[in-house]
């Protein structure tokens, strides 16, 4: 009963909030506080970044092994940190419209992959790294929207990235606590959680992909 209640709540929250966000967030506060940038990083994921949250879900669902989840999350972190820095320092100028579409496509791909494989392969790690590069470009937009002075770039970059990581780790911790209910029943976990949740994520992210490409 408890398991069904938790899963029902999870489905409800995702369905309720399943609307595509844009990366042109309005950050209506300017300050040089390091903690302000940390907060913006957290806020970019929770509650504004549902697509990034679903990406973390896809990473987690393939394997609940702490070691494997950390490995995948670390590759994602490394990748998005690289492109976040490159955009912030004007080294690259990715088109916002296509970055958003690619982020949605990456979620569709990982969720679909979760339906057909149940182990973390080296190719999966490489794929997450490549997708992380795209997500980093999305993260960068929240900072560039602030029109930061050059003197604040490093502080903003470090603080924002810390905030993103705090949010990601919080999501992984919450998922870990929930999935403990299924720890002794991996087959049940895959049938009742991974499969239906992956299908739901595919539907949501496919809608975002179409919306971001054509509208």
Q: Which residues contact 143 (CB under 8 A, 6 or more apart)?
A: 37, 40, 84, 88, 156, 157, 160
Whether the predicted pLDDT of 2 surpasses 50? no
Give the tokens for residue 125.
């790690």
H or E segment to which residue 96 belongs: helix 96-116
Nearest to 10 by CA among 197, 170, 183, 177: 197
Please report, for the chain, the start and end positions of each structural domain, with discontinuous segments joined by +.
34-214
Q: What is the CATH number of domain 34-214?
A: 1.20.1250
- Which residue in the block uniquely carries the two structure tokens 């590069």? 133
- Which residue in the block uniquely carries the two structure tokens 């670390």? 74
The 10s digit of each residue's pLDDT in 26-63 is: 444 455 688 988 998 999 899 889 999 999 999 988 87
pTM (2 d.p.): 0.83
- Which residue in the block uniquely carries the two structure tokens 């302000």? 36
Whether the predicted pLDDT of 148 surpasses 50? yes
The 10s digit of each residue's pLDDT in 95-118 is: 988 999 999 999 999 999 999 988
pLDDT band at 24 (very low <50, low <70, confident <90, very high): very low
Residue 209's pLDDT is what?
Answer: 96
- Report the alpha-carbon distance of residue 157 to residue 84 in Å, rounded: 8
Provide the CB-side half-sphere exposure for 56 (13 A, CA): 25
- Least confident among 1-10, 68-77, 150-159: 1-10
- Report the alpha-carbon distance of residue 95 to residue 40 in Å, rounded: 22
The 10s digit of each residue's pLDDT in 164-209 is: 999 999 999 888 888 777 666 778 888 888 999 999 999 999 999 9
User: How far does Cα 196 stand from its chain's mean position?
Assistant: 19
Q: What is the per-residue DSSP string for 38-76?
A: HHHHHHHHTTT-HHHHHHHHHHHHH---HHHHHHHHHHH
């Amino acid at each position: 009963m408890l398991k069904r209640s938790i899963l029902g709540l999870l489905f409800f929250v995702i369905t309720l909030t399943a609307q595509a966000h844009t990366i042109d967030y309005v950050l209506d506060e300017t300050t040089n506080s390091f903690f302000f940038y940390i907060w913006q990083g957290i806020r970019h994921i929770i509650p504004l970044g549902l697509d990034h949250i679903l990406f973390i879900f896809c990473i987690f669902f393939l394997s609940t092994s702490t070691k494997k989840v950390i490995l995948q999350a670390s590759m994602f972190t490394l990748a998005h940190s690289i492109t976040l820095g490159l955009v912030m320092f004007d080294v690259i100028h990715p088109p916002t419209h296509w970055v958003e579409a690619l982020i949605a496509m990456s979620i569709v791909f990982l969720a679909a992959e979760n339906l057909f494989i149940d182990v973390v392969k080296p190719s999966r790690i490489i794929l997450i790294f490549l997708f992380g590069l795209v997500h980093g470009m999305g993260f960068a937009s929240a900072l560039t929207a602030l029109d930061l002075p050059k003197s604040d770039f490093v502080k903003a970059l470090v603080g924002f990235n810390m905030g993103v990581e705090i949010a990601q780790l919080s999501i992984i911790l919450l998922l870990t606590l929930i999935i403990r209910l299924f720890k002794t029943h991996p087959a049940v976990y895959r049938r009742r959680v991974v499969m239906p949740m992956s299908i739901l994520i595919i539907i949501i992210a496919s809608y975002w992909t179409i919306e971001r490409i054509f509208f």
